[in-house]
Chains A and B, each alone.
Chain A
Amino acid sequence: MDPRVLDQFLFIALPYVCLFTFFLMTIYRYRTQKFSYSSLSSQFLENRQHFFAVVPFHYGILAITLGHFIAFLIPKTVLAWNSHPLRLYILELSALAFGLLTLIGLVSIIMRRGSISKVRQVTTTTDWILFVLLIVQTALGISIAVIYPWGSSWFATILSPYLWSIFLLNPDISYLAASPLLVKSHIVLAFLIIGFFPFTRLVHLLVVPNPYLWRKVQVVRWYGNK
C-alpha cells in the first residue's frame, strides 16, 4: 500500500472515527446506561495493594495527561518556558518521573488484578484489553521521552499544530512527515484509547465529583422543585 494512504488512514480517518465514537458513545451511554457510570472501585475487596497501585497510577497519569493537554492548548507558552535550558530539564525530568510513576502504578494494578482471586472476579475482558492498551501506550511514551528527548518542545512545534488541524476540521498531516515510528505509534494508540474510552470503566473520569466542594453539606430532595 502507498504509505501516504496509510498515513491518511491512520492520522486523518482513524482520529475522526475515534473522536466521533468518543463523543457519541459517552453521551449515549450516559443517557441510556447511567447506572453503568461508576469508578467500579475494588478497594473493598483488597485494601493494601490497592493503595500502592492505584495512587501512583492516578497521580502519574493525571500529571502526564495534563502535560499533554497544556502542550496542545498553549504550545507557545511551553516553548517560551523551555527557552531556558534549566527549565527545560526540570520539565522533561518531572514528565519522565510522572511517566515512570504511571508505569509502576499500572504494572502494580495489573499484578493486583491478576494475582488476587477476589479482585479477578470483578475484572472483565474489557478491563484486560484496556490494561494492555494503557501499558503499551505508557511504555511507548517513556521510550519516546528517553530516545527522543525534549519532547515538550517538539510536541509544541509538531504535534500541537497537527492536533489543532484535526480539531479545526482541516487535517494537515505534513507536520508528522518526519516523525519516527515510535511517535507515530503513540499517536495512533492514543486515538484508539480515546475511541475505546466510552466502552470501558474510564468513563468515571467524566463524572468526577466537581460539585462537592461547592455544594451545601446536606442534600434534600423534595417531590417537586421546592
Chain B
Amino acid sequence: MQVRSQVSMVFHLDKCIGCHTCSIACKNIWTDRKGAEYMWWNNVETKPGTGFPTKWEDQEKYKGGFELAENGKLNIKSTSKTKIVPNIFHNPHMPTMDDYYEPWTYDYQNLFNAPEGSVQPTARPISMIDGKDIDIQAGPNWDDDLSGSPIYAENDANLEGLTERQRHELSAIERLVFFYFPRICNHCLNPCCVASCPSGALYKRGEDGIVLIDQKRCRAWRSCVAACPYKKTYFNWFTGKSEKCILCFPRLETGQAPACFHSCVGRIRYLGVLLYDADRLEEVAKLPDEELVEGHRSMILDPFDPQVIAEARKNGISEAVLEAAQNSPVYKFVKVWKIALPPHIEYRTLPMLFYVPPMSPVQASKPEDTIKHNSDNLFHDIDDSRVPMKFLANLFGAGHEGGVRYALAKQKAVRWHRRAETVGDVDRETADRILREANCSREEADAIYKLTTLCKFEDRFVIPPMHREQAIEMMKDPYEHKTEVGFGFVSGPARGL
C-alpha cells in the first residue's frame, strides 16, 4: 500500500442552476489574456448538449483518453509512444479553434468614430485574433439551455444506447428536459495529458495531486490537447504553450477555496482530501468497464483506518492533511454514501472530480396519466425518469446503471425521510421502507441532508495546509527565498524571442 493524498472535488448537480458564475470567476482570474481568450478552464454545459469543445465526448472524433488493448496494455488513444514519432510534426487528432470558437469582441470605437450618416453606427463583432469582421458561429456556451435542439442536443454522445422513445421524450416539445454539467479539470489519478506529454512538461504534484503544466518545459507538441478526453488542456495560440486548470493552487496554498468553488452561487461544490492507494493505480485503470466505478472507489482509503494512517505517515503525509482527510466532505459523498460518481470513467484516466447525479428533472415522465405516488415500487419515478437512467449511466457509470440508480434512490430516500420529519405528507413507515430499500439509515439521511442543504463554507471546503514552506526549505533558506521571489515569471510570457 502506498498512501497518497489528493485534493478532490464533488459537484452536486442537483443544486446547479447553470448561472456560469464559476466560469466568469475563473475567466477573470486566469484566462483573460491574449491567446487564452477562448479557454474556459471552468465551463458549464447543458445536458443533453454538445458541450465545449463541440462534441468533446465523441472519442471517435477526438481520440481522447486510454484504451485497453487486447494484449492487456493501456494505450493512449491519440498519440501513444509508437505514434508520437511520425506524428510529432502534425498531430492528427488535435482539435482546432473551429472545434471551440473564435474569440471576438466588438468594434466599440466605431460608435464614436463613425462619420455622420443617416443611420446609427453599430459596434460590429470583430475577431480577437486578426481583428477582422467575424460572423459569429459558435461560442463557449453556445447551446446553453438548447436541449431539444436537433442541431445540438441530438448530437450528445451520451444518447448512445437510448431507445427511440427515450430520445423522443427527452426532446418532446413542452416536455423537454435538461440539467447542467459544470466542468473543470478532473486532476485525474491516471492523467492522459501527463502520460502523453513528449517533453514531460505535465506533472502531478505529489503532495496534493494537482495536475500542472510546466510552462518552461512545454514545447507545443500539442499531445496533451489531443490526449485529454475531457478536453481540459488548452493550447495558447499566442504563447505557443498549453495551459489548463490549476485548481487555483495559489489560492489553495493560502487556505482559500478555488475561485470557481468560492463563487458558486448554488453552493454545489465541495472540496476535500482523499487518501488513495497509488500502488493499485495500474490494476484499477485496466479493469473492465462495468467494474471501473467500484474499482476506482475501492482505491480510496479510509482515513480512520489505523493501518492507512500508519502507511500515510510513513509516506510523509502530515497530520494536518490526515485530519483534513477525516473531515473531507468529498470522502463522505464518494466513499461513505456512494452518491457521487466520476464522469466518464471509461476513459480510464481515473478522474478525481465526482458528480452527484441530478434528481431535479427526474420526476413526471409519464406522458399520459399522472404519477402514482402510492405505487408499490417506491422508485418507479426514478426508473421511468424523464432523464433516462441510461443517459446518466453513460455520463457517470461507463454505461452501467447500477451506481447511478443507487445514488438517485438514496437521494430520493433522503427527500422522503425529510418530508416525513418536517412536512408530514409521507408517513414514517413508508419513509423507513424507502430508506431501507435505498440502503440508507436515518442518521445517514440526515447527514446527507445537512451537507447538501445546510452546508456552510467550512463544511464544503476542507482545505488542508499545503506546507509550501517545506518545499522552499528543502531547496534554500526561506529568508533568502523571501527576498528573491516576485509574482510570476521574471520575464513575461511572450511568444518566442
Does residue B494 face the partner (Cβ distance < 8 Å to A)? yes
Q: List the one stretch of B43-51, B87-95, B320-328, B449-457 in contact with chain A.
A: B87-95
Contact assessment for A40 and B240 in the assembled complex, using a CB-CB cutoff below 8 Å:
yes
Identify which of A45, A51, A126, A212 contacts B497 (C-beta below 8 A). Answer: A126
Contact assessment for A44 and B195 in the assembled complex, using a CB-CB cutoff below 8 Å:
no
Shortest distance between the CB of A79 and any CB in chain B (Å): 31
Contact assessment for B200 and A47 in the assembled complex, using a CB-CB cutoff below 8 Å:
no
Chain A residues contacting B202 (CB-CB under 8 Å) are: 219
Known A-B contacts A40-B496, A223-B207; A122 and B237 likewise in contact (beta carbons under 8 Å):
yes
Q: Which of A1-49 contact B (CB under 8 A)?
A: 29, 32-47
Chain A residues contacting B471 (CB-CB under 8 Å) are: 223-224
Does residue A168 face the partner (Cβ distance < 8 Å to B)? no
Q: How far is the CA of A59 from the CA of B127 in the complex (A)?
A: 34
Q: List the one stretch of B219-227, B262-270, B427-435 in contact with chain A.
A: B219-227
Q: How far is the CA of A29 from the CA of B91 in the complex (A)?
A: 27
**Binary interface encoding of chain B residues 217-253 relative to chain A, with 1 for a CB under 8 A from any of its CBs, else 0:** 0111110010000000001011111000000000000
Q: Could you count the A-B residue pairs with CB atoms below 8 Å apart for me: how many are there?
A: 149
Judged by DSSP, the binding face of B is loop
Q: How far is the CA of A59 from the CA of B85 in the complex (A)?
A: 11
Shortest distance between the CB of A207 and any CB in chain B (Å): 5
Does residue A50 face the partner (Cβ distance < 8 Å to B)? yes
Q: Which of B168-203 contact A (CB under 8 A)?
A: 190-191, 194-195, 197-200, 202-203
**Binary interface encoding of chain A residues 43-63 relative to chain B, with 1 for a CB under 8 A from any of its CBs, else 0:** 111110011001100110000
Contact assessment for A122 and B96 in the assembled complex, using a CB-CB cutoff below 8 Å:
no
Judged by DSSP, the binding face of A is loop
Q: How far is the CA of A204 from the CA of B497 in the complex (A)?
A: 12
Contact assessment for A221 and B94 in the assembled complex, using a CB-CB cutoff below 8 Å:
no
Shortest distance between the CB of A30 and any CB in chain B (Å): 10
Chain A residues contacting B220 (CB-CB under 8 Å) are: 38-41, 204
How large, as a class, is the contact surface on chain B? 35 or more
**Binary interface encoding of chain A residues 96-139 relative to chain B, with 1 for a CB under 8 A from any of its CBs, else 0:** 00000000000000000000011011101010000000000000
Identify which of A36, A44, A120 contacts B222 (C-beta below 8 A). Answer: A44
Nearest opposing residue in chain B for A215, CB measure? B200
Q: Which of B66-125 contact A (CB under 8 A)?
A: 81, 84-85, 88-91, 94-97, 102
Chain B residues contacting A174 (CB-CB under 8 Å) are: none
Q: Which of A175-201 contact B (CB under 8 A)?
A: 199-201
Q: How far is the CA of A196 from the CA of B432 in the complex (A)?
A: 79
Contact assessment for A118 and B130 in the assembled complex, using a CB-CB cutoff below 8 Å:
yes
A-B contact pairs, 17 of them (CB 8 A): A33-B497, A35-B216, A35-B491, A41-B240, A44-B94, A44-B235, A47-B96, A55-B89, A118-B127, A124-B495, A200-B496, A204-B219, A209-B199, A209-B221, A212-B199, A212-B200, A218-B281
List 8 extra interface pairs beyond A38-B496, A44-B235, CB under 8 A.
Answer: A35-B491, A38-B239, A44-B95, A45-B129, A200-B496, A209-B219, A212-B84, A220-B203
Binding site for A on B (CB under 8 A): 81, 84-85, 88-91, 94-97, 102, 127, 129-130, 132, 190-191, 194-195, 197-200, 202-207, 215-216, 218-222, 225, 235, 237-241, 281, 316, 467, 470-471, 474-475, 489, 491, 493-497
